[in-house]
Amino acid sequence: MSVFNLSHLLRAVERRARRLQGLHLAGGVLAVASAMALAIVAACRLGLLPLSWPALGGVIALPVACALFAFLGVRRPKVSLPRLLLRIDQTLGTSERLSSLYELRQRGGRDVFRRRIEQHFQDGPLPWKKGLPVGPSHVGPLAVGILLLVGSSLLVAFAPLPLASIAEPLSAEARTAGEDRAATALPEPTVPAFPQEAQISSTTTLEQADTPAPDSFEDVLSDIWGAPVTGGSVLSEGGALGELIEEQQQRAQALEELLSRLEEQLRQGQQAGLTEDERRALRQMLPGVTDPQLRQTLENLVEETDPEALQEQVEQALGLTRAIARSQTDQSAEQQEKIRPTPEDVRESESAFDWTPPEEETTADGAQTARSATGEDRDDGASEQGQTGRGEEDIDSRGGTSGVSGEMLPSEQQPGFVPTDLAARVGSTGEFDEFLTKGVPLELDVAQGEEGLYSVNYETLRAILEERLIPPETRDVVKRYFDTITQGGP
Partner 1 sequence: MITDKDLETAQATFERLQNAIEGVIVGHEPVIEATLIALLCRGNLLLEGVPGLGKTLLVRTLASALDLGFSRIQFTPDLMPADIVGTDIITEDDGKRQFTYCPGPIFANVVLADEINRATPKTQSALLEAMEERTVTVGKSTYSLEEPFIVLATQNPIEMEGTYPLPEAQVDRFLLKASVGYPSLDELVRIAERNTEADGLRLPKPVATGEEILAARPVIREIPIAEELRRYVGRLVLATHPCSAHATPKVRQFVEYGASPRAAIALILGAKAHAFLAGEANVCRADIEAVFHPALVHRVILNFKGEAEGIEVSDLLAEVWKEIAVV
Give CA torsion, residues 444, 448, 449, 452, to 10 deg. 0
Among 259, 22, 45, 66, CA closest to 153: 45
Q: How many CA atoms lie within 13 A of 206 on its CB side?
A: 24
Question: Per rule CB under 8 A, is residue 99 in the interface with partner 1?
Answer: yes
Which one, 75 or 107, has the nearer CB to partner 1?
107
What residues numbered 44-83 form the site for partner 1, per CB under 8 A?
A: 82-83
* Cα 121 to chain centroid, rounded: 68
Among 3, 75, 107, 268, binds partner 1 (CB under 8 A): 107
The closest of 184, 134, 179 to 26, measured between CA atoms, is 134
Cα atoms found within 13 Å of the Cα of residue 460, Cβ hemisphere only: 13
Specify the stretch interacting with partner 1 by CB under 8 A; choose among 95-103, 267-275, 423-431, 452-460.
95-103
Instruction: Based on the shown chain and the rule CB under 8 A, indicate whether residue 478 belongs to the binding site for partner 1.
Output: no
Nearer residue to partner 1 within complex by CB, 86 or 234: 86
Distances in Å between the Cα of 399 and the Cα atoms of 30, 189, 427 are: 47, 20, 24
At 235, which helix (H) or strand (E)? none
Query: Which residues in 157-196 contact partner 1 (CB under 8 A)?
Result: none
Q: Are 200 and 234 in contact (CB under 8 A)?
A: no
Specify the residue, 97 or 462, whose C-beta has the smaller distance to partner 1: 97
Instruction: For residue 103, state whether it binds partner 1 (rule: CB under 8 A).
Output: yes
CB of 101 to partner 1, least distance (A): 8
Q: Does 96 bind partner 1 (CB under 8 A)?
A: yes
Nearer to partner 1, 117 or 255 (CB): 117
* Residue number with CB closer to partner 1 (103 or 291): 103
The yes or no reply on residue 97 touching partner 1 (CB under 8 A) is yes
Residues in the interface with partner 1 (CB under 8 A) total 24
Stretch that binds partner 1, among 32-40, 89-97, 145-153, 459-467 (CB under 8 A): 89-97
- Sign of torsion over alpha carbons 135, 136, 141, 144: positive
Nearer to partner 1, 100 or 290 (CB): 100
Which residue intervals of 46-160 are DSSP H helices?
53-72, 81-92, 97-107, 111-118, 136-158
Using the rule CB under 8 A, is 113 a contact of partner 1?
Answer: yes
Residue 130 is a binding residue for partner 1 (CB under 8 A): no
Torsional class of 210: left (φ above 0), alpha (ψ -120 to 50), beta (otherwise): alpha
CA angle 40, 41, 47 (to 5 degrees): 90
Nearest to 61 by CA among 157, 149, 185, 151: 149
Closest CB 111 distance from partner 1, rounded Å: 9
Q: Which is nearer to partner 1, 116 or 340 (CB)?
A: 116
Cβ proximity to partner 1: between 104 and 245 the closer is: 104
Site stretch for partner 1 (CB under 8 A), options 97-105, 192-200, 267-275, 353-361: 97-105
Q: Please tell me whether residue 109 binds partner 1 under the rule CB under 8 A.
A: yes
- Among 19, 76, 87, 468, contact with partner 1 (rule: CB under 8 A): 87
> Residue 481 is inside which H or E element, if any?
helix 472-487
Of 18 and 87, nearer to partner 1 (C-beta) is 87
Amino acid occupying residue 428: S
Q: How many CA atoms lie within 13 A of 422 on its CB side?
A: 24
What span, in angstroms and rounded, lies between the C-alpha atoms of 293 and 387?
50
Binding of residue 110 to partner 1 (CB under 8 A) = yes
To the nearest whole angstrom, how small is the minimum distance from the Cβ of residue 112 to partner 1? Answer: 5
137 forms part of the interface with partner 1 (CB under 8 A): no
Residue number with CB closer to partner 1 (103 or 197): 103
| DSSP secondary structure of 434-473 | EEE-TT--EEEEE-TT--EEEEE-HHHHHHHHHHTT--HH
Asked if 102 interacts with partner 1 (CB under 8 A), we say yes
Q: Which residues bind partner 1 (CB under 8 A)?
A: 82-83, 85-87, 89-90, 95-97, 99-104, 106-107, 109-110, 112-113, 116-117
